[in-house]
Structure 1
Amino acid sequence: MWKYPTTFDVIVVGAGHAGCEAAYASAKMGAKTLLITMNLDTIAKASCNPSIGGVGKGHIVREIDALGGIMGKMADRTGIHFKMLNASKGPSVRSPRAQIDKWQYSYEMKIFLENVENLEIKQFTAEKIILENNKIVGVSTLEGVDFLGLSVVISAGTFMKGLMHIGKNDFPGGRGGEKASNSLSDSLKTHGIELKRLKTGTPPRIHKRSIDFSKLEVQHSEDNAFFSFDDEKKKYNKKIPCYISYTTKKTKEIILKDLDQSALFSGKIQGVGPRYCPSIEDKIVRFKDKEKHQAFLEPEGIDTNEFYINGLSSSMPFSIQIETIRSMEGLENAEFLRLAYAIEYDYSPSNQILPTLETKKIENLFFAGQINGTTGYEEAAAQGLIAGINAAAKSLNKEPFILKRDESYIGVMIDDLVTKEILEPYRMFTSRAEYRLLLRQDNADIRLREYGYKLGLINLKQYEKLLLKKETILKELENISKKFHLIENKNISLKQFLSRPE
């Protein structure tokens, strides 16, 4: 192996949502950072749904932005449909969600990272970790190059021994059309890291021209449901609607008749899947009393005719997928562009990491994203941000950074990962946060932006904007604390009046 002549402070393996945040945070903190990925053209690729945010998840994206991360800015920049979920409910559970142009999101992220100071990006495939005295010192690559670094973040997504399933066919792959990474898993196991299997899946994509939109419910985009606290330039002024379809009685009959063809129900898949994102066959079996299930048709971008069918992930053979989709309202003539598939992959049970996301067994090795047993772009990005911060801090001899449960959803997630047994892919919900009344998506900057400033991820202009917001709030609190004659025979402040339950 040839040793690359530069020793990096931080090496990040994998350029998905976790890896991008980790590399950016590390470089912004002044650490000389290397980001390696199997394919430079799939940086921050949205492997499954073309969306960012959602209930609980949108809170996380706002927190990432408050700390100085980049997911929220990229989502705002490339968003083509925005919604504030739970808008009719209390402010603590309202959460932004955006449909993104998935190709533009990846492209914008690549261009952005290419211009970050202290960050080098290279196309290599990591195969082994290099250790000295039980401390990581670098990674070896398939291409015959050793990269040396003081800290390493692994954010490999579903690529570690990824095995894809379509009916009774299975084949290695990290996601549709891309190869798996097998050697990295073996290297981690050799050095004492326990690995287990999880499963996830993705729906088919169909052609826009084959959809009968007259039979579907339309959902229009909303204004002001953005993620970033900064004034992010929007790439698209045009917003595209989403649509709702439903399964039918015939859909149910097809699934139940051919259930033994599903990789999930035939016993081929051993990994546990995400309970809150079940396949269509799983829904039909678990909820037999339901006559129909909702599915969202979401555009994959501005300039493409691909539509993603949210709610219809499957591991059925192609022939049954066609029957299933064409039994749905408005999709009777559906033209397939991409198949649905399930994928099993290696992950590291998260009792092996510290709250900094550093592994307990190997010093200076950090894990972020699906390798820790989570599911979702947002959960991965948040872990990447924290892992990148702490990897840089370790290399630069700075204090570790740990968020608490009472100050962020990110803190809730990481605390859950390191203190609880994770038996299924972990997904964030507002119900997981006991302090959720305080952890609103609209106050993430007040809670966390000062941390970002101290870490060097937030600039002075952004910080001054926060100080002005705090000052404005305090002044308004003073104003409403003045006493007025608002009710009979009693002077009370507007603040007291607004606090009354009636």
Structure 2
Amino acid sequence: MNYDVIVVGGGHAGVEASLAAARMGHKTLLISMLAENVGATSCNPAVGGLAKGHLVRELDALGGQMGLITDEAGIQFRILNQTKGPAVRGSRAQIDMDKYRVIARNVILNTPNLSLAQETVESLIIEKDVVKGVKTDLLNEYMASKVIITSGTFLNGIIHVGEIQKKAGRYGEERSEGLSASLKNDAKLNLSRLKTGTCARIDSSTIDFSVMEEQGGDELPSPFSFRTNREEFRANKVQLPCYIAYTNPLTHEIISSNFYRAPLFTGQIEGNSPRYCPSIEDKVSKFADKERHHLFIEPQTRDNTECYINGLSTSLPPEVQREMIHSVVGMQNAKIVRYGYAIEYDFVDPRELRHSLETKKISGLYCAGQINGTTGYEEAAAQGIMAGINAGLSLQGKEPLVLRRDEAYIGVLIDDLVTKGTNEPYRMFTSRAEYRLLLREESADTRLGKYGHELGLISDAEYERIKLKDEQIRYGAQLLEDTKFTPNKEFNALLESMDEPPLKDVSTAQQLVARKTFDVQKMLKIMPELEKFDDYIKEEILVEGKYARYIDKQSEEIQRMKKYLKIAIPEGFDFTKVSGLSKEVQEKLKSFAPPTLQAAMNISGITPAAIEILHIYIKIAKRDAK
């Protein structure tokens, strides 16, 4: 009954936290309300997406499991934003939900130092502001010096389907009441309410896919994990299509005429909803001028017996759900297997946490996942691995691993949460990362692999592959920078054969590949020395060459930011006289009166751009004072 680390909750955060702690050599217990639901994908049958794909890649680089399971359970793989720059592209995979859960549970059960118990944690054991363990519904007491809470939506969860309310953590599963009370009363943590939701699931045999737009996977699919063999993956992965349908004016009329029965609008739901993943009734209400909304019809398993209707999340009554679904072309005869619902639940104010995800008030107590106010499997898993790692490092008497904002999307995620908090379910976007050119998906392993290796989560062989990749890309990028071409007749003829404008001045290969029209094949024609690398490395060398100037500029900005964040803000500084700052920002700065630019940066809603402007005005004020 004695462990080093106890993880409460078997969702994506719990899986990654328990695996990290156990693999670091610590005796770990994962407690889940239902053993067969460890690693369950409660909502959509997909992993990744814009910015979320970055989190999964970074998680994988640290030695996490989500990327590997996704590669095995995936049934369709796509790179989103393919036509845009590599910094804002995102990997996304449709998964077999059933297979994903089975794989996750089997990994847990086959990991040394890790045990699984099917129980419900009712309370924390705390002595003198130090966590000592947990008590369960079976009256068991498990002791540990580190406890990680990854309870998802189960804390005082209430499900809403029209006027009907059910006490549950997921449909058909009990909620956790005792733990919520213990976090509030014993740990003295500040709890609030949030709301999220899901859509109806449809019997696939009752959908007419022939009238919908087919959306297949990439012809050459890319795996999520850097540890998956890319060639074998592409040779063996069989993909299934998704389909696109649309709502229409009739759908919107059905929904709007039933607003009076929507829990979201009647006051039945108290918690704040996710701004960036709204329910269909929220979309119809806010965007009344739109005649239609996209619906993505996604298979939930390889057998495709049930489909998830992405874009149709709702908590409207069952009869309204049936009517609006039947109004969609291709779904006139659709049979609902599971109705959509909203779920409201308690979460801990993430400002109660340190950057290590340990609570400030209770030593040894960590929180990770939706309990911290986030939404999404990927955000949860990223927090989970960091909580597991930092619990393990603390047990070893070492400093926590805190990733910087310029180092990882995970760093942005945790920094946003613990310094600014959130009053709505937090979702990761590329726009949240100031240094996204440095944080591309494909560089995650070379950025973070060293940490995974030092922690013992990445093997020696895997780390050698990462180092080789890094060396090859650096060599190629340096070659592009050092190689120069003169505008002679022979070279300009080569450019002309590639439909490229001739050279007028001496140029480096890096300047040439920076042209929008330059691709890998053109790069190889002017730099045949790069032919020896595999296609994956060639692509990365091209990207490094194209964005070299911007990457250098961003690196300089990081160094400048590090210097001036320490700058003091003069006492009595008048923020209202700083033009270029919004009134809201001026009022926040006036209210908090931060002593330094670093303190100002930690205020919710204060952006790096605002800090830049403030820095300029501080310099002006100091000059005028002299």
TM-score (norm 2): 0.78
Q: Distance in 2 between matches of 1:177 and 1:283?
A: 27
For 2:432, the equivalent position in structure 1 comes to 432
Q: Distance in 1 between matches of 2:503 and 2:135?
A: 78
Between the two structures, name the one with larger relative contact order (CA 8 Å, sep ≥ 6): 1
Work out whether residues 126 and 184 of structure 1, in 8 Å CA contact, stay in contact via their aligned partners in 2. yes
- Structure 1 unmatched runs, 5+: none
For 1:76, the equivalent position in structure 2 comes to 71
Q: CA deviation at 1:303?
A: 2.2
Q: CA deviation at 1:412?
A: 0.2
For 2:225, the equivalent position in structure 1 comes to 228
Q: CA deviation at 1:485?
A: 1.9
For 2:166, the equivalent position in structure 1 comes to 171
Q: Which of 34, 39, 45 is the matching residue for 1:39? A: 34
Matched, 1:218 2:214: yes
For 2:130, the equivalent position in structure 1 comes to 135
For 2:365, the equivalent position in structure 1 comes to 365
Report 1:40-119 matches (<5 A): 40-119=35-114
Report 1:57-456 matches (<5 A): 57-191=52-186, 192-222=188-218, 223-231=220-228, 237-456=237-456
Q: Distance in 2 between matches of 1:495 and 1:336?
A: 56
Aligned-partner SS, 1:140:
strand
Work out whether residues 166 and 318 of structure 1, in 8 Å CA contact, stay in contact via their aligned partners in 2. yes
Work out whether residues 60 and 226 of structure 2, in 8 Å CA contact, stay in contact via their aligned partners in 1. yes
Work out whether residues 10 and 395 of structure 1, in 8 Å CA contact, stay in contact via their aligned partners in 2. no
Q: Distance in 2 between matches of 1:251 and 1:492?
A: 58
Q: CA deviation at 1:475?
A: 2.3
Work out whether residues 134 and 141 of structure 2, in 8 Å CA contact, stay in contact via their aligned partners in 1. yes
Q: CA deviation at 1:421?
A: 3.2
Work out whether residues 356 and 386 of structure 1, in 8 Å CA contact, stay in contact via their aligned partners in 2. yes
Q: CA deviation at 1:490?
A: 4.3
Q: CA deviation at 1:479?
A: 2.8
Q: Distance in 1 between matches of 2:349 and 2:467?
A: 41
C-alpha offsets along residues 235-259 of structure 1, whole Å, 9 cap, x if unaligned? 9732110001101111111111111
Aligned-partner SS, 1:22:
helix
Aligned-partner SS, 1:81:
strand
Structure in which a larger fraction of residues adopt helix: 2
Q: Distance in 1 between matches of 2:71 and 2:22?
A: 23
Write the letter of the residue equivalent to 1:228.
Answer: S
Aligned-partner SS, 1:283:
helix
Q: Distance in 1 between matches of 2:124 and 2:379?
A: 25
Q: Distance in 2 between matches of 1:198 and 1:424?
A: 7
C-alpha offsets along residues 160-195 of structure 1, whole Å, 9 cap, x if unaligned? 100000000101000111111111001111121111
Q: Distance in 1 between matches of 2:240 and 2:484?
A: 49
Q: Distance in 2 between matches of 1:66 and 1:256?
A: 46
Q: CA deviation at 1:124?
A: 1.3
Q: Distance in 1 between matches of 2:381 and 2:52?
A: 10
Q: CA deviation at 1:489?
A: 6.8
For 2:462, the equivalent position in structure 1 comes to 462
Write the letter of the residue equivalent to 1:124.
Answer: E
Q: Distance in 2 between matches of 1:342 and 1:139?
A: 30
* 1:501–1:302 distance in 2 versus 1, CA, 3 Å: closer
Q: CA deviation at 1:501?
A: 7.8
For 2:512, the equivalent position in structure 1 comes to 497
Work out whether residues 97 and 225 of structure 1, in 8 Å CA contact, stay in contact via their aligned partners in 2. no
Matched, 1:484 2:491: no
Write the letter of the residue equivalent to 1:431.
Answer: S
Write the letter of the residue equivalent to 2:281.
Answer: E
Aligned-partner SS, 2:266:
coil
C-alpha offsets along residues 299-350 of structure 1, whole Å, 9 cap, x if unaligned? 0001241100001011111000000100111111110000100000000011
Aligned-partner SS, 1:479:
helix
Q: CA deviation at 1:221?
A: 1.1
Q: Distance in 2 between matches of 1:132 and 1:442?
A: 45
Write the letter of the residue equivalent to 2:277.
Answer: C
Aligned-partner SS, 2:142:
strand
Write the letter of the residue equivalent to 1:427.
Answer: R
Q: CA deviation at 1:133?
A: 1.3
Aligned-partner SS, 1:431:
helix
Q: Distance in 2 between matches of 1:488 and 1:13?
A: 63
C-alpha offsets along residues 76-98 of structure 1, whole Å, 9 cap, x if unaligned? 11000111000000010011000
Aligned-partner SS, 2:14:
helix
Mean CA deviation greater in 229-238 or 423-432:
229-238
Work out whether residues 198 and 345 of structure 1, in 8 Å CA contact, stay in contact via their aligned partners in 2. yes
Q: Distance in 2 between matches of 1:322 and 1:206?
A: 10
Q: Distance in 1 between matches of 2:254 and 2:189?
A: 43
Aligned-partner SS, 2:410:
helix
Q: Distance in 2 between matches of 1:96 and 1:164?
A: 31
Write the letter of the residue equivalent to 2:510.
Answer: K
Q: Distance in 2 between matches of 1:151 and 1:365?
A: 6
Q: Distance in 1 between matches of 2:370 and 2:142?
A: 23
For 1:28, the equivalent position in structure 2 comes to 23
Aligned-partner SS, 1:497:
helix
Q: CA deviation at 1:225?
A: 2.9
Q: CA deviation at 1:394?
A: 1.4
Aligned-partner SS, 1:264:
helix
Q: Distance in 2 between matches of 1:489 and 1:88?
A: 29
Q: Distance in 2 between matches of 1:217 and 1:488?
A: 45
Mean CA deviation greater in 137-146 or 215-224:
215-224
Write the letter of the residue equivalent to 2:212.
Answer: L
Q: Distance in 1 between matches of 2:34 and 2:72?
A: 23
Q: Percent identity?
A: 49
Q: CA deviation at 1:478?
A: 3.8
Q: CA deviation at 1:234?
A: 5.8
C-alpha offsets along residues 202-241 of structure 1, whole Å, 9 cap, x if unaligned? 0000011110111101000113332110125869732110
Write the letter of the residue equivalent to 1:386.
Answer: M
Work out whether residues 86 and 94 of structure 1, in 8 Å CA contact, stay in contact via their aligned partners in 2. yes
- The structure number with the bigger radius of gyration is 2
TM-score (norm 1): 0.97
Work out whether residues 203 and 310 of structure 1, in 8 Å CA contact, stay in contact via their aligned partners in 2. yes
Work out whether residues 223 and 233 of structure 2, in 8 Å CA contact, stay in contact via their aligned partners in 1. no
